[in-house]
Amino acid sequence: MSVSAPSFDQLRVLLAVVEEGSFSGAARRLNRAQSAITYAVQRLEEQLGVVLFDRAGYRPILTEAGQTLLPRARLIADEMQALCNHAEGVNAGIEPELRLVVDAMFPMCALVEALRDFSGRFPSAPPRIFVETLGSATELVLNETCAIGLLLGFNSDFESLQRQKLMEIAMIPVAAPDHPLGLMGRAVGKEELRQHVQLVLSDRSGLSGSRDYGVFSPKTWRLADLGAKHAMLKAGLGWGSLPAHLVEEDLAAGQLRRIEILAEDGAVETVTLPLCSAYRRDRPPGPAGRWLLNHLAGLTEIRKIAG
First to last CA, the chain: 69
Instruction: State which amino acid sits at residue 71.
Output: P
What mean pLDDT comes out for the span 51-56?
Answer: 91
| pLDDT > 90 in the chain, percent | 62
Residues 135, 102: Cα–Cα separation, whole Å: 11
Residues 6+ apart with CB under 8 A from 43: 10
Using the predicted structure, report yes or no on whether residue 244 has a pLDDT greater than 90: yes
Using the predicted structure, report yes or no on whether residue 307 has a pLDDT greater than 50: no
Using the predicted structure, report yes or no on whether residue 140 has a pLDDT greater than 60: yes
Say what the alpha-carbon torsion angle 201, 248, 186, 236 is, to the nearest 10 degrees. -50
Domains of the chain and any CATH numbers: 8-91 (1.10.10.10), 98-167+274-305 (3.40.190.10), 169-272 (3.40.190.290)
Choose among 144, 176, 182: nearest CA to 160. 144
Using the predicted structure, report yes or no on whether residue 290 has a pLDDT greater than 50: yes
Q: Cβ(242)–Cβ(233) under 8 Å?
A: yes
Using the predicted structure, report yes or no on whether residue 108 has a pLDDT greater than 60: yes
What mean pLDDT comes out for the span 248-257?
Answer: 95
- Indicate if the alpha-carbon torsion angle 210, 215, 221, 222 is positive or negative: negative
Q: pLDDT band for position 5 (50/70/90)? A: confident
Using the predicted structure, report yes or no on whether residue 9 has a pLDDT greater than 60: yes
DSSP, residue by residue, 155-180: G---TTEEEEEEEEEEEEEEE-TTSH
pLDDT digits (tens, 9 = 90+) for 167-182: 999 999 999 999 999 9
Q: pLDDT band for position 229 (50/70/90)? A: very high
Using the predicted structure, report yes or no on whether residue 130 has a pLDDT greater than 90: yes
Q: pLDDT band for position 306 (50/70/90)? A: very low
More confident residue, 118 or 84: 118
Q: pLDDT value at position 304? A: 47
Across the chain, mean pLDDT equals 88
